[in-house]
Amino acid sequence: MLKVITTVAAMKRFSENARQKGRTIGFVPTMGYLHKGHMALIEKAVRECDTVVVSIYVNPTQFGPKEDLKKYPRDFSRDKKMLARAGVGTIFYPSTRQMYPDGYATYINVEGLSDVLCGSSRPGHFKGVATIVAKLFNIVIPHRAYFGQKDYQQQLIIRKLVKDLDLGIKVITVPTIREKDGLAMSSRNSYLSPLERKNAAVIIRSMRFADQLVMSGVKSPHRIREAVIKMLRTVKELKIDYVAICDTNSLEQRKIIKGKTLIAVAVFIGNTRLIDNIIVR
Ligand code: PAF
């Protein structure tokens, strides 16, 4: 039976109890409005752990003042049905009162990694992510936590947070799940008009083209970046936020393509900001 827990105290009690019984706790933090990308993380957690907790919480501290916090899509009853079908045991569904009570004042900042790519276009975003994830880790006390590769920078920051704060949680990154035309699954895809949705496939097309260039021996990040930008620009309504070609661990811009390299893209299609990435070798 799927249990919904809404308070920090009850969630902690549940997890402490499960741990005492020697059960491994798998944790998938989400902001709800679940799609196949989330379900891939959740199904993996269900396969690998004795008990799985999925949190659903749209975290206000990771949204900028001009971002989509209010209109972020929500559908708890649909999410709940999907989680029941997937065999999840527990949903942690707290209110903002529970997570950030009056007078809340403590934030976590993972320096360096948080300042580049999405961090430079969304100042404070990763401080909000690191803070909520650290809090959720303290409340859910998982053994294993699952994140999607689509948010590549986020999973890197969480890994660093876990290492630096000695949290002893195994972080697992699950490959991006894509629509038929290659668009990465995202709750924000629901904002796209039919035409924008069609145009959004240019993101993965441009990165696959970059992959082909690398495979054919092109070693200049500059050339690859230019090729990606040129392809993205074929869509008029698209605005490029960044196209980055960087080290998969430090996120530093590569001077030459060598070994594993991350190609990461962020664009606006209309008002919707979409991100995606691939790793080329
Ligand atoms: O990836 C997300 O949905 C969010 O950033 C997360 C990890 C649930 C924290 O709010």
pLDDT in tens, 150-207: 999 999 999 999 999 999 999 999 999 999 999 999 999 999 999 999 999 999 999 9
Q: What is the pLDDT of residue 281?
A: 86
CA of 172 relative to ligand 1 center, distance in Å: 14
Q: Is 54 exposed, middle or buried (0-12, 13-18, 19+ CB in 10 A)?
A: buried
Q: What is the pLDDT of residue 279?
A: 97
Is the per-residue pLDDT at 116 higher than 90? yes
Separation between Cα atoms, residue 268 and residue 29, nearest integer Å: 25
Average pLDDT over residues 50-68: 97
Confidence of residue 251 (pLDDT cuts 50, 70, 90): very high
Annotated catalytic residue 125: no
Q: What is the pLDDT of residue 163?
A: 98
Is the separation of the CB atoms in 73 and 190 below 8 Å?
yes
Average pLDDT over residues 119-132: 98
Is the per-residue pLDDT at 258 higher than 90? no
Is the per-residue pLDDT at 127 higher than 90? yes
Whether 151 is in the pocket of ligand 1, judged by its Cβ within 6 Å, is yes
Buried/exposed 11-50: b ≥16 CB within 10 Å, e otherwise:
beebbeebeeeeebbbbbbbbbbbbebbbbbbbbbbeebe
Q: Which two tokens stand for residue 122?
A: 């969304």
pTM exceeds cut of 0.75: yes
Of all protein residues, the one whose alpha carbon is nearest to atom 5 of ligand 1 is 129
Whether 31 is in the pocket of ligand 1, judged by its Cβ within 6 Å, is yes
Average pLDDT over residues 44-60: 98
Q: What is the pLDDT of residue 58?
A: 98
Whether 118 is in the pocket of ligand 1, judged by its Cβ within 6 Å, is no
Whether 186 is in the pocket of ligand 1, judged by its Cβ within 6 Å, is no
Of all protein residues, the one whose alpha carbon is nearest to atom 1 of ligand 1 is 30
